[in-house]
Amino acid sequence: MDEQALAERFDECRGHLRAVAYRMLGSLDEAEDAVQETWLRAARAGAGDVANLPGWLTTIAGRICLDMLRSRRRRGEDPGGLDRLAELERAGGRDPEEEAVLADSVGLAMLVVLDRLGPAERVAFVLHDLFAVPFAEIAGIVERTPETTKRLASRARRRVRGTPSVPAADLARQKEVVAAFLAASRSGDMDALLAVLAPDAFRRAEGAAEVRGARRIAGDTLANPVRARNARLALVDGAAGVVVAPRGRLAAVLRVTVEDGRIAGFTVVGDPSRLRAVPIAVLG
């Protein structure tokens, strides 16, 4: 296969490679860089008699993403936090609006949880569970045996799914109530917010005075459209809660207390040093 033919086939695979890289890296800019580096390495190596070109390119992209994740971990991670919320929302890039749409299509909570996985765990989980790549192929990327690679993905899967701390029926009711609050927040519906908040609901946050009363909390919620736009359901401490994660970058967590079908209170965690200690999983 000559370089022109390889370039044409590569363009056919570009969307797939971009999707894989974005889920591994959680950044559109970095995903585009990984795809470009995949092309450069593929062009240098030449496809030769490669029978499965998409699989071969995915393997190259996987190795590149793994290296980028390891490098990111060595540099130290962005702590996030509420102080970074506006900055994260304004952050530039190749196409911030496109990245926001892409993040929502993957799931903001999913991106938050993926970002907590180790590099090899993340690569193994994304490739196997999201793109059905066989463990035998992933093993070569993460430099483990297939059996160890399978354990990496299994460990990642458990973290992504989490473990509810309440019975399934209670969790379902919590989820319904919190989802209603988030929908009302995004639509700016004061009446719907008041309907889902208990009259004496509270909001607590470290370093801030406690806020009491449904109307005051609803008013504050409507005054923070950026936070509402980037808030999504998640499993927080084993119960239905909220993550605020613009473009998948964790800024805050809300523990939600639900009583008698209404929200009785919120406990906000926005300090970067505390965020990492809060158990978060995807709430299906």
Share of the chain above pLDDT 90, in %: 76
How do residues 224-257 score in pLDDT, each as one tens digit? 998 898 999 999 999 999 999 988 889 999 999 9
How do residues 198-227 score in pLDDT, each as one tens digit? 999 999 998 899 999 999 999 999 999 988
**Global pTM?**
0.87
Q: What is the pLDDT of residue 93?
A: 53
Where are the extended beta strands (E) located within the chain? 197-205, 211-212, 231-236, 239-244, 252-259, 262-269, 280-281
| DSSP code of residue 219 | H
Q: Which domains are delineated in the chain?
A: 3-76+119-159 (1.20.140.160), 168-281 (3.10.450.50)
Q: What dihedral do alpha carbons 32, 21, 113, 170 form, nearest 10°?
A: 110
Helix 53-75 with 28-45: angle, nearest 10 deg: 130
Q: What dihedral do alpha carbons 190, 196, 199, 201 form, nearest 10°?
A: -100
| Beta strand 211-212 pairing with 239-244 | unpaired
How do residues 138-191 score in pLDDT, each as one tens digit? 999 999 999 999 999 999 999 999 999 999 999 999 999 999 999 999 999 999
